[in-house]
């Protein structure tokens, strides 16, 4: 992941991941539409190439942050018509500014509890008092299952323990020459981090797998979306 994310951002951006394109992103957009209340300011924390905000299909005051400067440049160019504000350092993100904050597939890339606490704190500081936070992560209950677009090394022999917080494991993307590592964080771990920071859980949504794919898993969810306010 690090190689693609930081050194070959353009290559990563050109790879359309089915679980995001057909599952996680549409679920996040639907949740956004469900709770949206004439919002004007949006922060995508860990924006990648900007694909999620692009799917909103509306004009907002958009701010972007990512740890990869190359990814930020790609996102800023993709969303150029929105004239997004770009933050290259999370410390620079202003407080009490945003109606909506997205945190999509970010926590799964974080390897320490300290870094997760920093991210949660920054997000809570950045949103307005009545703002909402939409968090997406791979479903930690089912990391040892096979899904339409990927599977993990838990499926092929690595011992899986749901409560082994931060466990590093390899991801294999179907049909693409790409492997990288994720870190497993349980549902309770994620919920407690945001609740302790002062947020309230509004809804938890299990993302459905892509039923048009031959590896479709009808029984288990590949991703989960948390809605906080």
Please determine, for residue 10, whether its predicted confidence score (pLDDT) is greater than 70.
Answer: no
pLDDT at 21 over 90: no
> pLDDT for 100-109, tens place per residue?
999 999 999 9
Q: What is the pLDDT of residue 8?
A: 53
Q: Report domain 2-228's class.
A: alpha beta
Q: Is the pLDDT of residue 110 over 60?
A: yes
3-state secondary structure the chain: CHHHHHHCHHHHHHCCCHHHHHHHHHHHHHHHHHHCCCCCEEEEECCCCCHHHHCCCCCCEEEEECCCHHHHHHHHHHCHHHCCEEECCHHHCCCCCEEEEEEECCHHHCCCHHHHHHHHHHHHHHEEEEEEEEEEEECHHHCCCCCCCEEEHHHHCCCCCCCCCCEEEEEEECCCCCEEEEEECCHHHHHHHHHHCCCCEEEEEEECCCCCCCCCCCCCCCEEEEEEC
Mean pLDDT, residues 1-19 taken together: 53
pLDDT in tens, 160-211: 999 999 999 999 988 877 788 999 999 999 999 999 999 999 999 999 999 9
pLDDT value for 16: 59
- Rounded to an integer, the average pLDDT of 11-40 is 83
pLDDT for res 14: 46
What average pLDDT score do residues 129-140 get?
Answer: 97
Q: What tens digit of pLDDT does each residue of 26-70 get?
A: 999 999 999 999 999 999 999 999 999 999 988 899 999 999 998
pLDDT, residue 176, reads: 78
At 55 the pLDDT is 93
Query: Tens of pLDDT along 112-134?
Result: 999 999 999 999 999 999 999 99
Q: Is 85 exposed, middle or buried (0-12, 13-18, 19+ CB in 10 A)?
A: middle
Q: Which two tokens stand for residue 182?
A: 């994720």
pLDDT at 17: 67
Predicted local distance difference test score (pLDDT) of residue 131: 97
Mean pLDDT, range 59-85, rounded to an integer: 94
Domain boundaries in the chain?
2-228
What pTM does this model have? 0.93
pLDDT at 154 over 90: yes
1 has pLDDT over 70: no
């Amino acid at each position: 992941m690090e190689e693609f994310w930081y050194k070959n951002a353009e290559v990563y951006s050109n790879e359309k991941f089915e679980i995001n394109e057909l599952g996680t992103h549409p679920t996040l957009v639907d949740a956004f539409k469900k709770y949206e209340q004439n919002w004007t300011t949006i922060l995508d924390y860990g924006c990648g190439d900007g694909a999620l905000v692009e799917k909103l299909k509306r004009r907002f005051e958009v701010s972007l942050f990512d740890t990869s400067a190359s990814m930020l440049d790609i996102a800023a160019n993709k969303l150029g018509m929105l004239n997004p504000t770009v933050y290259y350092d999370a410390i620079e993100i202003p407080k009490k500014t945003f109606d909506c904050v997205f945190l999509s597939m970010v926590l799964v890339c974080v390897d320490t509890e300290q870094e997760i606490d920093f991210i949660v704190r920054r997000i809570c500081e950045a949103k307005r008092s009545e703002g909402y936070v939409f968090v997406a992560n791979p479903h930690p209950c089912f990391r040892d299952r096979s899904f339409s677009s990927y599977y993990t090394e838990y499926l092929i022999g690595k011992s899986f323990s749901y409560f082994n917080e931060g466990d590093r494991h390899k991801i294999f993307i179907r049909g693409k020459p790409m492997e990288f590592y994720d870190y497993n964080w349980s549902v309770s771990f994620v919920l407690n981090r945001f609740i302790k920071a002062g947020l309230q859980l509004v809804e938890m949504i299990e993302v459905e797998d892509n039923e048009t794919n031959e590896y479709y898993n009808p029984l288990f969810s590949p991703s989960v979306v948390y809605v906080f306010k």
